[in-house]
Chain A
Amino acid sequence: MKTFEEKWTAWVDGQLSGRELLEFEASLPDKAAAEAEKAGARKLGELLKRELSARTLTNEEFFSHQLREKIARLREAPARQAREARSTWWTIPRLLWTGALSLAVFLVFTVLVMREKNPAEESQYLTQILNARVDPVVSPNATVSIFEVKQDRVTVLWTEGLQSLPADYAAK
């Protein structure tokens, strides 16, 4: 069932025919006024067509050029995204490897430094000196003093009154 608006539009556009046309025209209260409206609608259509069809696109080639560039960028986008995704995938293992390697290097250096920081309590030379005795016959007034600063790893042997250096004082 068509509404009045639909029937009117169809009538103006000449789309009504046969019984439908007769019924519609018979239903119009003022046929002359309706015909004037119909003529007006047609004139309006002609006016719109005449005045608005003339509007054209200037720079047509630039329009197409701009569109081609946009489409090219659009086509490039998935490839670029794939490349970016691939490079991101490689970054994670790289990061893990770099982290593990850095940790290993750190541990190696730490062990080496710590070992250097904890030397033997007593050096071989110091033991030898401490165990040595001055012969009172050879050097009756001799005194031997030892000064040691462990944290600086320095030992000073201070001798006085020695007539001769005992053979077993020689460092090996």
Chain B
Amino acid sequence: MQTEATLAHADVSELDLVRRCQAGDTEAFDELVTRYRTRVFSMIYNMVHNEQDAWDLAQDSFLKAWKSIKRFRGRSSFYTWIYRIVMNVTIDWLRKKHVKGVGAEFDDATQLREVDPASKTVPQTEALPYEMMERDEIRTRIDKAIAQLSPEQRAVILMKEIEGMQYHEIAEALGCSIGTVMSRLFYARKKLQNLLRDVYENI
């Protein structure tokens, strides 16, 4: 997968940065964090639906990546490798949270969060108040629908639809077979289609 970050920083190769990290260069790691922090955070946020938890889990993920960077052999891209860490950390957290049964999974504060104006997916023209309310409502619906999926199904659908990752990359990130990825994708889509049909059909 050719990442946006890779294109933006083509002058310094990712592998070179990884080698420097393996030699203990924290500045090189800082560069890698800068490249992937937003995507990692966004991915986790879409899975846990809480900004503070997503922040903490993203921090944990990068810290684990730093600790184990010497074990990275370069057989996959750094992005796939770090996604594996991110998924392990997040899925593990979701499972523990599910076992403990802590609170509601959906963070209502999400509705009030402003969207980055620099984001490519945000319309360039200013949205009218009712349009903003409508968008907030749609996002709330999506979040609630995703919250009904298992952690593994969430991971698969988000990696496929948001990140545009290939089956084998998702399988590598989750440490499972391609068949399992496709199967999880099937059930995740079915469930979300049932829950969000009226949303995507009316846009």
Contacts and interface: CB of A to CB of B under 8 A. Distances in A.
Interface size class of B (residues with CB under 8 A): 35 or more
Contact of A57 (B24, B38, B135): B38
A121 interface: no
B185 A55 contact: no
A53 B119 contact: yes
Interface stretch (A61-69, A109-117, A141-149, A153-161): A61-69
A54 B119 contact: yes
A3 B179 contact: yes
Nearest to A40: B193
A63 B139 CA distance: 25
Interface size class of A (residues with CB under 8 A): 35 or more
Interface in B86-142: 113, 115-116, 118-122, 135, 138-139, 142
A23 interface: no
B176 interface: no
A4 B115 CA distance: 39
Contact of A63 (B46, B55, B119, B201): B55
B67 A55 contact: no
B193 A44 contact: yes
A13 to B, nearest CB: 8
A41 interface: yes
A172 interface: no
Nearest to A7: B182
A48 to B, nearest CB: 4
Contacts of B29: 71
A41 B189 contact: yes
Interface in A33-73: 37, 40-41, 43-58, 60, 63-64, 66-68, 70-72
B38 A60 contact: yes
Contacts of B121: 49-50, 53-54
Contacts of B66: 71, 74
A49 B116 contact: no
14 contacts: A2-B179, A6-B183, A40-B193, A44-B189, A50-B121, A51-B135, A53-B42, A54-B119, A55-B115, A60-B34, A60-B37, A63-B33, A63-B58, A67-B59
Sorted nearest first, the 4 A-B pairs with minimum C-beta distance are: A5-B186, A56-B116, A57-B41, A9-B182
Given A53-B120, A60-B34, A70-B59, 7 more contacts: A9-B182, A9-B189, A53-B121, A57-B55, A63-B41, A67-B59, A67-B62
